[in-house]
Amino acid sequence: MVSHNRVPVSVWFRIIFCVPVFIESQADSQNADQKLNVAFITDAITKGAGKICLDGTPGAYYFAKGFGDGINNWMIYLPGGGWCNSKEDCLDRSLNERLGSNKNATTKALVTFQSQNKNINPDFYNWNFIEIRYCDGASFMADVEAVNPETNLYLRGRRIFTSVIEELMSTQGMNNAENALLVGNSAGGLATILNCDRFHSFLPGACRVKCISDSGFFIQAEHLRGAQDNAINKFRKIILFHELAEFLPKSCTQRRAPELCFFPENVVNDIRTPLFLLNSDFDRYQISVLVLPNSTNEVGWRDCKNNISNLPSCLKNNTSNLPCCTENQQQIIMDFQTSFLKTLEKLDDNPSRGLYITSCYAHDFIPYPPYWKGTPTLQNKTIQQAVGDRQFKIYIQLTAM
């Protein structure tokens, strides 16, 4: 247990004030030309995977082959995209070619941490890069054999993750991995936490296996009145609809209700694989979705939410930045930060876990160039530098303010 007056030995966090630097360099322009073609699971039927996206299309991934001294290093990326938690919600999602289907998947551009440009991505530019397409709606966790004939929805995200990893091991050389990194943001950041040790188990011969979760540390907000019930109910619906209970970490479900085991705060203490958590304690998504809806009966919440959504993400956080929010609304937003930091304080002291906690009104950092190499910075380290250090065992220690 970490006391309120100190932070884990693993890392000290600092509340920062930051203004993003939006400069497009020549390297950024060159990187925009890098495209990857989609690859479908070639033997999905024989592997027992088959129809695994919500709409029944096969799993797929993007692959950039490593080179030079990175030929045996691998980065697996799980993108964000939220969740669905009902028949209607998941049916709508299954029609979305980006979130529920691989029907028309074609190419994607490489950005920031995926880039093969050494100027943009000095630590990982020559690694093998994989992006697994997110088309299931439950953070790659569901594995329901039966298909409801009424909806024809396939709830098999766990098979997407498994079948891609197995194909990479059997046909692309990942069985020879020396270093491997599982990275995800938002719903993919949560998937990274929940699948971290499982990912490690696929690579027993690798020298180093680590995980990075960007904006995936969703909190119960138990210190914030009303928000806890909203957050738990949201995750309970996901778990019930996708039948996730048996696939959540047993170390958690043996002690807690399944819906509580979708919250990283109840899982990360049991993760054995080195884990790096990148998040904002003013997480824009969590504030807007998990906190503010509880007060929709108060006049002005829509304007306040729009105010937050339209703020420059890494702007100094004080009440003058939220002119459309009342004093009470501003206090609730500040209370979320307090709740977030108290949640971090509950984590045990683990020297293999790192934190990079900002106070930007933001959600998702690593996919975006202004954050990757610009601001925020902690102890003069950008996110790109911190992520690079973390992979290469340079311990991050941030001075508290």
Active site residues: 186, 283, 363
CB count within 10 Å of CB 387 equals 28
Q: Which of 355, 382, 387 is nearest to 371 (CA)?
A: 382
Neighbours of 366 (CB within 10 A): 23
One-letter amino acid of 157:
G
> Length of the chain in residues, anyone?
401
Tokens describing residue 51: 């129809």
**CA pair distance 212, 396, nearest whole angstrom:** 14
The Cα angle at residue 125 between residues 122 and 130, in degrees rounded to 5: 140
- In the three-class reduction of DSSP (H, G, I as helix; E, B as strand; rest coil), residue 208 is classed as strand
Beta strands 107-109 and 60-64: pairing type?
unpaired
Distance of CA 305 to the CA centre of its chain: 22
Beta-strand pair 353-358/275-280: parallel
10 Å CB burial of residue 166 (0-12, 13-18, 19+) is middle
Token pair 């709409």 is found at 55
